[in-house]
Amino acid sequence: MVSFLDEILLCLSYLAVAFISLNCLNIYVSFVGTEARSFAYGLFIINGIYGIGGAISAVTSGLDHVQVIFYAAEISLVLPFLTTEMWIQKNLFPKQQELVYVPCLLGVLPFFSFIMLGVIRIDLVELCLVYCCVCTAYVGYSTRDYLVVAGSLLFYLAYCMHFRGKVKISNVLLIFFTLCSLGSICPNCVDETRKKSDFPFKELGF
């Protein structure tokens, strides 16, 4: 009974990640439209796919190998996408534009290492995550955008919790990371959407 209840809670935590991510994607696209960038798209889409895949794998063992691929993409690419998106938006290095893509290049290394070797290189993942946390901290300090700092720290904590086997806690942290990411990437759309019924957790007063 306990095991069954644990599986249900795990499935619900994954579904919550998917729901919030896809909802945030819809909000972002609705307000930004043709000005939307692929990095923000990628962040929300990968989060959503990770949540859907996790919910399915939580109730059946047939797709566990697929969920591992989604997890590798999640920890390798999502935070670099946020970091690159914020560097582009804030235009902190106008004379060295190529630097904004360094986080994504670092994220591609562990993901393709997994695709080629079948092993998640924790050292490469942590190098990428620490680099992105430092970059977002600089962005937050320079532009007084503390949501992006909170988001990067939440993502790193989520990674640590997942690594320790506390997947449900990790998923809850990913939910708050996604909301922080939306608030940082598109603050105007959050202010407007908060007044409407489709904003995540509006019924809780956010």
Q: Domain coordinates of the chain in residue numbers?
A: 2-204
- The closest of 67, 78, 69, 70 to 106, measured between CA atoms, is 78
The predicted structure's pLDDT at residue 206:
46
Mutual orientation of helices 64-90 and 102-117 as an angle, nearest 10°?
A: 170
- Alpha-carbon distance 8 to 132, whole Å? 33
The predicted structure's pLDDT at residue 33:
74
- Alpha-carbon distance 122 to 128, whole Å? 10
Q: Provide mean pLDDT across the span 11-25.
A: 92
The predicted structure's pLDDT at residue 204:
47
* Amino acid in the structure at residue 39: F
Which pTM was predicted? Answer: 0.86
The predicted structure's pLDDT at residue 62:
67
The predicted structure's pLDDT at residue 2:
46
Q: Provide mean pLDDT across the span 112-128.
A: 89
